[in-house]
Structure 1
Amino acid sequence: MDKIDTVIFDLDQTLFDKNLSLLGFANYQYEQFGLNRFIPVKREFIEKFTELNNVVMPKEEVYAKLIGMFHIDKSLYAELLNDLNTNFHLHSVGFPGLHEMLGTLKQQGYKLGLITNGRDFYQRNKISALGISDYFSVIVTSGAIHIKKPDHAIFQIALNDLDSSYERTVFIGDSIMADIIPAKELGMFAILKSKDESHTEPDAICDNLMDLPNVINRICGLRNRKETFKEREANVMTNQADRLWERIVDRSSDLDANGKESLHLQPGARDEDFQLIEHTLGITLPESFKSFYRIHNGQDGGVGIRSFVRNLTLSPISEIIDNWNFLQEEFDPDDLEMSIDSEIKPFLWNAKWIPIAGNGGGDYLCMDTDPAEAGVVGQVLYFWHDWGNRSVEGKSLFEFIESCLQEER
């Protein structure tokens, strides 16, 4: 079993106290540019400046909104924006214990990396201002490579540069969606920097940087207690599947008086069911499929059934096999469709696709266990009967279900 030897950090609100830094800079700009001429109450400017800069939007848009909101002289727009780009890093504040924690990890022999979303010069200026550049062997910014978290690719780039691997790495960040979930999906250990201890996604939660070395060492101890990477991955998948099903039922209850009953959910699938489908289709099921179907083996079709995968109902394993056999007979394996998304092999039908949902009209939702080079195993695609339209709707089953839940908001 490989030893954990790599620790990768997020920057904003993990090492860099963004909120305190924004407060300091907003106060400086208010005084520096005499904004009291337009905004008599300084607190109003500081609060709005901080609020807008905590939303993902271009800095140009932030200042356009501030000028419009407070009727600031438009001639100051370029000066304010340039001042932010030039001087914001001078107001950088790190969380307490930053240098001590990084120094301890470095002394203990860990390879340290940093992954951050943001403009390259802007993020690197902040890192330099904090005086922490030399602790890191690798610093990757989304602005430099044009890939943002939570895209798995940015994590892989950092690991390649560190000459490390997922199972030897701990990732530390403050965002569940951008940091913790992708890190866990890739097989890293993940620590959430937060005061909120209610989250179940991370391996640990820690808000005090000085405590991090001990938390990381405890995680290494977990690793030594024979929990294999595959077992841990399965546990993570099970937790994610549980939470998704809870949200599906909650959403149905919000939209339908009959709640869970309207979903017509089947009892969970058994290991024998998974063995049958793998043997029949000649495939290895993605772990996300097993985790999801262990809780509910699809929906039992009938009058009044409520779909939750857009306009399709989730098929039980027996129905998946029936639909797969039908599609095998319906399509010639040599039928090609060159306009298909680049992540999918250019076939009208691929025997390695798992038709997990349908609408009775020839449309299916499939999990792809045989993607093109640009795709990923387990990606979800829409199969629009014989039209040739095949498009990737999610990189995984969980990602697709999450998007369906977001669409219903």
Structure 2
Amino acid sequence: MTFPALLARLDALLQQRRPAYYATLNPPATAAELAAFEAEFELTLPAELRWWFGWHNGQQGFESFVQNNCLQSLGSAAETMRVNLELLEAGDFVPNWWQPGWVPFLENGGGDHVCVDLAGTFTGHAGQIMEHWHDWEARSVLFPDLTTWLQAVVQVYETAGEGGQELTDEHMEEIELEHPANFPKDFEAGD
């Protein structure tokens, strides 16, 4: 299934199985907002990430979208990147604590993020999905790309909501995504 088709499926599932949560989602990011983000950080977002922010530009509040993470807005992602790039440039980080090509799209509200890694840190595979912890060295590559991650999210929403019951914040915090073979791949900052 293509990324836009997966997004459409997710949108329908959220409306059916989490209508109150769906009402907290922000409008899409505009083309101008996406262009400004790319210009500020001197990067080109992959099509999937542009579609992601163009679907909903984050959410209001910190209710869990999946696994205790909420949708990060483009503005919040930019602020995360600014802070971490400033600390990186000041020499405050060990290697791979933060990289300029990490674009956060999920956050837990406590300073930790799930990012699209545009550089392929650790593996050489640009576009992989990885965890960034603000106070822990673990840097797990969770999925090979955003499409594979979204397939896992759609699958969990389909199976968790079987029977028509509404899914709660607590359901989504405890959900485990099914990883493809050989994932996650565990690394540490400083390596």
Instruction: Give distance in 1, aligned partners of 2:49 and 2:72.
Output: 12
Amino acid at match of 1:276: A
Which string of whole-angstrom CA distances, capped at 9 and with x for unpartnered residues, describes residues 195-237 of structure 1? xxxxxxxxxxxxxxxxxxxxxxxxxxxxxxxxxxxxxxxxx43
- Aligned partner of 1:296 in structure 2 is 56
User: After superposition, where does 1:8-407 map in structure 2 within 5 Å?
Assistant: 181=1, 236-253=2-19, 258-261=20-23, 264-301=24-61, 305-332=62-89, 335-337=93-95, 347-372=96-121, 374-407=123-156
Radius of gyration: which is bigger?
1
Where do 5+ consecutive residues of structure 1 fail to align? 1-180, 182-235, 338-346
**Cα–Cα, structure 1 residues 333 and 366, in superposed 2: closer, same or farther, change >3 Å?**
farther
Q: Distance in 1 between matches of 2:155 and 2:87?
A: 34
Change over 3 Å in CA distance of 1:311–1:275 after alignment to 2: same
Give the TM-score taking structure 1 as reference length.
0.35
Higher RCO (CA 8 Å, separation ≥ 6 residues): 2
C-alpha RMSD over aligned residues: 2.3
1:251-275 per-residue CA deviation (whole Å, 9 max, x = no partner) reads 424xxxx3522xx101111110110
Offset, 1:406: 4.0
Tell me, yes or no, if the aligned pair for 1:265 and 1:299 is still in contact at 8 Å.
Answer: yes
Output the CA distance in 2 between the equivalents of 1:333 and 1:287: 32
- Name the one with the larger helix percent: 1
Question: Is the 1:379–1:395 Cα contact (8 Å) retained in structure 2?
Answer: yes
- Asked if the contact 1:244–1:402 (Cα under 8 Å) also holds between the matched residues in 2, the reply is no
What does the per-residue CA deviation read over 1:31-60, in whole Å, with 9 as the maximum and x for residues that have no partner? xxxxxxxxxxxxxxxxxxxxxxxxxxxxxx
**Match of 1:365, SS?**
strand
Cα 1:361–1:291 shift into 2, 3 Å: same
Deviation string, structure 1 residues 133-180 (Cα, Å, up to 9, x no partner): xxxxxxxxxxxxxxxxxxxxxxxxxxxxxxxxxxxxxxxxxxxxxxxx
CA distance in 1 between partners of 2:90 and 2:12 (Å) = 39
Q: What's the counterpart of residue 46 of structure 1?
A: none
Contact 2:6/2:154 (8 A) holds in 1 = no
> Do the aligned partners of 1:308 and 1:404 also contact (CA within 8 Å) in 2?
no
Unpaired segments of 5 or more residues in structure 2?
A: 161-191
Mapped contact 1:250–1:259 kept (Cα < 8 A) = no
TM-score (norm 2): 0.71
Question: 2:154 & 2:63 partners in 1: Cα distance?
Answer: 13
Q: Aligned residues, how many?
A: 157
